[in-house]
């Protein structure tokens, strides 16, 4: 959990070592950084991240695969229907993660 004014990809540096084995990582433009792309390639993960509009060089990515990202956005939207998760009531990350797991279970069950 990072502060609201912190850039998206700066928090990923701490999580990079704990990423599970995967072929692709689909992310939005907020995660467009050369060091992040190189770190993913070093782990054998192909990044599917479009370049920022202010980037000088064009970055190639799989557009068809990137369009599937809406499924993830819909899931986050459903999680944010739970007030406790949307406002981050919990001070401790473990408690917050357990609230997300509980909400995810209920959403899946319904």
Cβ atoms of 16 and 22 within 8 Å: the answer is no
In this structure, the chain runs to a length of: 110
Q: How far apart are CA 2 and CA 31, in angstroms?
A: 14
Q: 10-residue block means of pLDDT along the chain (110 residues)?
A: 64 81 88 89 92 86 89 83 78 83 84
Q: How far apart are CA 26 and CA 66, in angstroms?
A: 6
- Note whether 37 and 26 are same-domain residues: yes
- Note whether 37 and 84 are same-domain residues: no
Beta strands in 14-63 (DSSP E): 24-26, 46-48
- Note whether 94 and 63 are same-domain residues: no
- Note whether 55 and 10 are same-domain residues: yes
- Note whether 62 and 23 are same-domain residues: yes
Instruction: Estimate to the nearest angstrom the gap between the alpha carbon of 28 and the chain centroid.
Output: 8
Q: Report the helix count and the strand count for the chain, using DSSP H and E.
A: 6, 2
Q: How far apart are CA 12 and CA 36, in angstroms?
A: 8
- Note whether 88 and 35 are same-domain residues: no
- Note whether 33 and 62 are same-domain residues: yes
- Note whether 75 and 102 are same-domain residues: yes
- The domain of 103 spans 69-110
Residue 39's closest CA among 59, 15, 63? 15
The count of structural domains within the chain is: 2
pLDDT score at 5: 65
- Note whether 50 and 73 are same-domain residues: no
- Note whether 1 and 48 are same-domain residues: yes
């Amino acid at each position: 959990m990072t502060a609201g004014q912190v850039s998206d990809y700066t928090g990923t540096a701490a999580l990079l070592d704990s990423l599970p084995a995967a072929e692709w990582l689909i992310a939005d433009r907020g995660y467009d950084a050369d060091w992040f792309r190189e770190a993913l390639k070093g782990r054998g993960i192909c990044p599917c991240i479009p370049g920022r509009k202010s980037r000088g060089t064009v970055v190639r990515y799989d557009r068809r695969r990137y369009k599937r990202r809406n499924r993830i956005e819909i899931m986050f939207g459903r999680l944010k229907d739970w007030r406790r998760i949307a406002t981050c009531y919990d001070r401790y990350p473990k408690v917050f993660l357990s609230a997300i797991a509980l909400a995810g279970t209920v959403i899946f069950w319904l």
